[in-house]
């Protein structure tokens, strides 16, 4: 399992101080694979809505979904920790938010690139990597126009199927980012849009294997499906 030697305590402290000056923060402990992790996020993501100008919203329709740790991210992280061999594999997470699944995969020995459209999300992912003493690479990625030329063994995404306009771009991004023989794992709280996403994935030559899971750590249980996507091998 990888332990980070990049960034000392002073960088961690400086980054926390900078984030605390801009946000009301919440730092929460989770246990995955029998190991205790600490993750920093925004205390109230809805408070960030006031920061989005009408001009910015018209340009990108970007909502601060990255600022919250969602049940799908927790469920995917547990799945990675307990059920998925990742050691030595090259992994990318898209729409990573604060980087929970990326941190867990790196802790298990994967070489991880964590990506998000939001530069702010990547600052939190950097903090969480330092806090949990793992190596992560950070890069901004727009799944509508993937610039990354590297391909990966595994791709992770949690709670990204919330806008119809994003469904085909996500399928296209996965197709571009996966190595031949690679697999994507997409966690979703059984939204209706997931069915349309799966139809698009099948139309684009992906096979789908669902894993049904349940998040039980909140005020109510949340059913979460993790979809394994792999390219179909033509006979």
Is the residue at 2 inside a domain?
Answer: no
Is the residue at 97 inside a domain?
Answer: yes
pTM for the model stands at 0.90
Which residues of the chain register pLDDT less than 70? Answer: 1-8, 44-64, 234-235
pLDDT of amino acid 110: 98
Per-residue pLDDT tens digits for 205-231? 999 999 999 999 888 899 999 999 999
- CA 148 from centroid of its chain's CA atoms: 17
Residue range of the domain that includes 119:
9-231
Q: How many CB atoms lie within 10 A of CB 177?
A: 23
pLDDT of amino acid 128: 98
Is the residue at 32 inside a domain?
Answer: yes
Q: Which phi and psi (to 5°) does residue 169 adopt?
A: -60, -35
Is the residue at 193 inside a domain?
Answer: yes
CATH number (domain holding residue 57): 3.40.50.150
pLDDT of amino acid 66: 79
Query: What is d(CA 213, CA 7) in angstroms, rounded to the nearest whole number?
Result: 36
Is the residue at 1 inside a domain?
Answer: no
Question: What's the number of domains the chain is made of?
Answer: 1
């Amino acid at each position: 399992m990888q332990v980070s030697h990049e960034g000392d305590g002073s960088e961690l402290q400086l980054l926390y101080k900078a984030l605390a000056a801009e946000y009301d923060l919440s730092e929460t402990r989770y246990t995955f694979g029998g190991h205790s992790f600490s993750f920093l996020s925004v205390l109230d993501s809805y408070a960030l809505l006031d920061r989005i100008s009408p001009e910015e919203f018209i340009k990108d329709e970007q909502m601060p979904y990255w600022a919250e740790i969602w049940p799908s991210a927790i469920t995917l992280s547990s799945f990675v920790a307990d059920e998925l061999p990742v050691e030595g594999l090259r992994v990318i997470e898209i729409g990573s938010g604060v980087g929970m699944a990326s941190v867990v995969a790196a802790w298990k020995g994967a070489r991880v690139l964590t990506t998000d459209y939001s530069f702010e999300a990547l600052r939190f992912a950097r903090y969480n990597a330092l806090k949990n003493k793992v190596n992560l690479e950070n890069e901004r990625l727009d799944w509508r126009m993937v610039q990354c030329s590297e391909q990966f063994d595994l791709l992770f995404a949690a709670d990204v199927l919330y806008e119809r306009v994003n469904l085909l771009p996500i399928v296209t991004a996965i197709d571009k980012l996966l190595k031949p023989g690679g697999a994507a794992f997409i966690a979703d709280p059984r939204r209706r849009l997931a069915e349309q996403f799966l139809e698009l994935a099948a139309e684009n030559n992906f096979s789908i294997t669902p894993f049904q899971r349940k998040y039980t750590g909140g005020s109510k249980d949340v059913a979460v499906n993790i979809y394994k996507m792999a390219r179909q091998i033509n006979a």
